[in-house]
Amino acid sequence: MMRWAVLLFCTLLAACASTPPPAVPDQLFRDDLFSAPAQPIRADDIFALTDEMKRYVDVEISQQLRSKGPQKGLLDALYSKQQLKLEYDSERTRNAAEAFEARAGNCLSLVIMTAALAKHLDLQVSYQSVYTDEVWTRSHDTYFASGHVNLTLGRRWLETTNRGTQLSWTIDFLPPEDLAGQRSRQVSEDTIVAMFMNNRAAETMAAGQLDAAYWWARAALQRTPGFLNSYNTLGVIYMRRGQPALAEATLKHLLQRDPTSTVAMSNLSRLLQMQGRLDESRALDRQLAKIDPEPPYHFFELGQAAMKAGDALAARDWFAKEVSRAPYHSEFHFWLAVADFRLGLVEEARKHLSVALQNSTRRSEKQLYAAKLDYLRQMGVQ
């Protein structure tokens, strides 16, 4: 099955920490092909606090911060079910103010919001990229891979250390059992900013807003040239704008920097195929098959094809294979439930719908899965 684009989304590819990365070649930017952004893109806006956020810290939780200490007090205020009641929502990447207003966000949004509040308290903040299995999702014909980031709150900059006082608190948005044994590495705030900008580029591109997507990707690369994901995003934007030469140059530049990027290979293969350069495309596909013979969504796409052919039994087997290697992926459980239902396995369908609902990270999906589950309950399936 061919994909239009595969984007790395909120993850790290490769960024050299010891030597500064080379600047982005000027010829990879073509501002004249895109309308100017409606508003300037500024990194400072990502962490900007609203008056409501300042009042929350300075007034509403001030006593808690004094009694528990600023790190523990802020942690409890933000992530206690009795207080701010934040919700995980991967629908879009929000800046600090947007996440606070919505009381929701993906891991990157919540990290940014927490960092903004912590910096208002003059706390030291550091960021980590956590080594977890990538989680793949899709939006129509665009595929996304999501990684994970967290942050650590240190003491205030001018604060002296008291014996017995905990020096830092790590705040994460995964359950502790999912973090057991996980490794992480520290990343700069510039990288966090580039992640945010790249996410916005990917999200606006998926929504068909290519002009906005270009400026976000451009800003990400200018901010942090070593964050290679943004080259891939920019290449796909050029593909969709009908600029194959620019798309090819951008993807090949990424592959020069990271020859192992299967994402760039996949997109470049698709681009070459669209141009009728089949020998070059097949050569890349052979290389990809050696590196990753069963890429993300491989079994799922086979299951979808079986469903279209009316073979629910084969589809169920393919969906089950995808679930076995991504057991918390809501979409895979949903389609396994659909196949079960068509086969008359209503109780099994209910179980997988329940898992889909429990693990969904988008409000729209939660509503869909809840409605389907309610329908089964009305049929008498408990």
Least-confidence region, from 108-117, 207-216, 324-333: 324-333
State how far the Cα of 278 lies from the Cα of 269, in Å rounded to an integer: 9
With the CA atoms of 170, 175, 178 and 182 taken in that order, what torsion angle do they form, in degrees rounded to the nearest 10? 0
State how far the Cα of 88 lies from the Cα of 19, in Å rounded to an integer: 36
- Amino acid 380 reads G
How high is the pLDDT of residue 106?
A: 86
Instruction: Please check whether the two domains, 1-295 and 298-378, share a CATH topology.
Output: yes
Is the pLDDT higher at 166 or at 168?
168
Written as one string, the DSSP assignment of 147-210 is: EEEEEEEEEETTPPPPTT----EEE-SS-HHHHTT--EEEE-HHHHHHHHHHHHHHHHHHTT-H
Which residues have CB under 8 Å from 311's CB, separation 6+?
Answer: none
Q: Which CATH architecture has domain 1-295?
A: Alpha Horseshoe (1.25)
Q: What pTM did the predictor assign?
A: 0.81
- pLDDT band at residue 186 using 50, 70 and 90 as cut-offs: confident
- pLDDT band at residue 157 using 50, 70 and 90 as cut-offs: low
Q: Which of 1-15, 70-84, 272-286, 349-363 is the most confident on average?
A: 272-286
- pLDDT band at residue 51 using 50, 70 and 90 as cut-offs: very high
How high is the pLDDT of residue 38?
A: 87
297 contacts 318 by C-beta, under 8 angstroms: no
Token reading at 236: 């796909």
How high is the pLDDT of residue 17?
A: 42
207 contacts 231 by C-beta, under 8 angstroms: no
Token reading at 191: 């990288």
Token reading at 107: 């891991």
Q: Look at residue 14 and tell me whether its pLDDT is greater than 60.
A: no
Least-confidence region, from 166-175, 318-327, 356-365: 166-175
144 contacts 137 by C-beta, under 8 angstroms: yes
How high is the pLDDT of residue 260?
A: 87
Does domain 298-378 correspond to CATH entry 1.25.40.10? Answer: yes
Break the chain into its structural domains and give their ranges: 1-295, 298-378
- pLDDT band at residue 321 using 50, 70 and 90 as cut-offs: very high
